Amino acid sequence: MRTWIGKIRQRFGGRKSLRWSMVRRLLFGWFFPLFMLIFIIVFFVSENSHRQIEQTIMTSLEKSVQIMRMQLKDCETASKNASYIPTIAEAYADFLEDGRQNTFGKTAESFLEQQYAWHDNCRTAELVMLDFPDMKYFAMNNSNGGTYRDIEFFYDAAEKELLEAAKTLDTGTTLIGVDGRVYMVRNLMTSKFRPYAVLALELNQPSFMESYGGIWGYENAAVYWNGELLMGGQGEHEQTLPEDIMTALQNREELYVEGGRREPVQVYRKMSLYGGTLVAVVRIDKRITHAEMNTLEYLFVILLVFMIPLVIQMMRFFYKEVTVPIRQVITAANTVREGALGTQVENKEDNEEFWQMKDSFNHMSTQLKNQFDKIYLEEVALRDARIMALQSQINPHFLNNTLEIINWEARLNGNHKVSGMIEALSTMLGETMNRKEEQFHSVAEEMAYADAYLYIISQRFGAKFGCTKKIDERLLNIRVPRLIIQPIVENAVEHGMDITKQGRLEIRLFERSDGYLCIEVEDNGHLSEENKKKIDGLLSPGAEVAKEKRVSLGIRNVDQRLKMIYGKDCGLFITGNDKEHTVSTILLKMDVPTEQ
Per-residue pLDDT of 514-535, as tens digits, reads 888 999 888 888 777 777 788 7
Which range, of 69-83, 200-214, 266-280, 381-395, averages the lowest pLDDT?
A: 381-395
Identify which of 65, 70, 73 has the alpha carbon closest to the alpha carbon of residue 255: 65
pLDDT at 434: 58
In the predicted structure, residue 8 carries a pLDDT above the cut 70: no
Confidence check: pLDDT of 339 > 90: no
Confidence of residue 536 (pLDDT cuts 50, 70, 90): confident
Query: What mean pLDDT is reported for the chain?
Result: 78
| Predicted confidence (pLDDT) at residue 32 exceeds the cutoff of 70 | no
Residues 127-138: what's their mean pLDDT? 91
What CA–CA distance (Å, rounded) separates 402 from 400? 5
Give the pairing of strands 479-481 and 440-442: antiparallel
Q: Which of 544, 458, 565 is nearest to 504 (CA)?
A: 458
Q: Cβ–Cβ contacts within 10 Å for residue 280, how many? A: 26
Residue 150 CA to residue 140 CA, distance in Å, equals 9
User: Where in the sequence of the chain do the CATH 3.30.450 domains occur?
Assistant: 85-203
More confident residue, 336 or 474: 474
Indicate yes or no: pTM above 0.75: no
* Residue in 471, 474, 481 with CA at minimum distance from that of residue 441: 481
Q: From CA 519, how far away is CA 511, in angstroms rounded?
A: 9
State residue 234's pLDDT score. 67
Please write the tens of the pLDDT for every residue from 373-390: 767 665 665 565 455 545
Lowest mean per-residue pLDDT among 168-182, 205-219, 307-321, 339-353: 307-321
Average pLDDT, stretch 325-341? Answer: 79
Residue with more model confidence, 596 or 195: 195
The CATH superfamily of 438-589 is Histidine kinase-like ATPase, C-terminal domain (3.30.565.10)
What is the topology classification, in CATH, of domain 85-203? Beta-Lactamase (3.30.450)
pLDDT in tens, 250-277: 888 888 887 665 677 888 989 888 888 8
Q: For 436-465, how does the pLDDT look when each residue is reduced to its tens digit (9 = 90+)?
A: 667 788 889 888 888 877 887 887 777 788
Q: Where in the chain is the domain with CATH 3.30.565.10?
A: 438-589
**pLDDT value, residue 572:** 86
Higher confidence at residue 84 or residue 392? 84
